[in-house]
């Protein structure tokens, strides 16, 4: 089974105070599931950590603070982000290629997550970053020859559009609670 992880699932897995923390920890500890995500997830995660950090809304263990407190802030945020992704049994999808688009007779080479997200825009009722996430999930097929079975997210906007997404691109958005019920864990 291949499952694409949305950013909120990874954040919740590491944030002890999140209301879905235990469910997501349980799910991500399953060894028989292949978890994947796109680099856009790292960008979003790092951005949220930076925002919480600047607002003094995130706390770490003393052990971690001792290791990083002398480093510049931008390095501390990168360390937290890279540690979180490094601790998960998770593959991060590499860039799969450039695609040529022509606008007003000029040719442009564009990373294909963006061209795919651009295509999806007219089919799905989603915002830009959601479209890039869905495009990343679709690209899993480039690397594994299989479609992702589920797009795991607790984002209400994506879950509310689950039927449209499923109908148009055959990817099933699912919440942590629903997945736990299906997997009987």
Partner 1 sequence: MPTIPLRIDDVDLKKIDNLIKKGRYKNRSQAIKKLLLDKLQQETLPFEWQEDSDEESRIKIVNKLISMENFSFSSNSTKSSEDLIGEERERY
Binding region for partner 1 (CB under 8 A): 6-9, 11-12, 14-20, 44, 47-48, 51-52, 55, 57-60, 63-64, 67-68, 71-72, 74-75, 78-80, 82-84, 86-87, 127-130, 153-157
CB 124 → partner 1: shortest distance, Å?
14
Which is closer to partner 1, CB of 78 or CB of 144? Answer: 78
The distance of closest approach from Cβ of residue 146 to partner 1 in the complex, given in angstroms and rounded to an integer, is 26
Minimal distance in Å, beta carbon 102 to partner 1? 20
**Taking the complex as a whole, how short is the minimal distance between the CB of residue 145 and partner 1, in angstroms?**
27
Q: Which is nearer to partner 1, 128 or 168 (CB)?
A: 128
d(CA 10, CA 83): 12
Task: Identify any residues that bridge with 152 across adjacent strands, giving them in sequence order.
Answer: 5, 174
Query: Which distant-in-sequence residues (6+ apart) come within 8 Å of 160 by Cβ?
Result: none
Encode burial over 21-43: b for 16+ CB neighbours within 10 A, e otherwise.
bebbeebbeeeebbbbbbebbbe
Smallest CA-to-CA distance from 73 within 100, 46, 99 is with 46
Of 91 and 147, CB closest to partner 1 = 91
Q: Toward partner 1, which CB reaches closer, 75 or 168?
A: 75
Beta bridge mates, 35: 3, 90
């Amino acid at each position: 089974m291949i499952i694409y992880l949305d950013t909120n699932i990874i954040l919740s897995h590491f944030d002890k105070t999140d209301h879905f923390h235990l469910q997501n920890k349980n799910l991500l500890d399953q060894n028989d599931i292949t978890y994947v995500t796109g680099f856009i997830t790292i960008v979003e995660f790092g951005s949220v950590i930076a925002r919480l950090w600047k607002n003094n809304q995130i706390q770490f263990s003393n052990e971690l603070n001792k290791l990083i407190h002398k480093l510049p802030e931008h390095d501390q945020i990168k360390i937290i982000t890279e540690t979180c992704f490094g601790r998960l049994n998770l593959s991060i999808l590499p860039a799969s290629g450039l695609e040529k688009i022509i606008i007003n007779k000029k040719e442009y080479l564009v990373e294909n997550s963006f061209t795919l997200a651009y295509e999806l825009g007219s089919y799905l009722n989603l915002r830009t970053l959601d479209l890039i996430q869905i495009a990343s999930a679709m690209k899993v097929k480039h690397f594994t020859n299989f479609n992702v079975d589920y797009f795991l997210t607790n984002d209400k906007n994506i879950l509310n559009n689950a039927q449209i997404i499923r109908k148009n691109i055959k990817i099933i958005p699912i919440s942590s609670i629903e997945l736990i019920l299906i997997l009987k864990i």
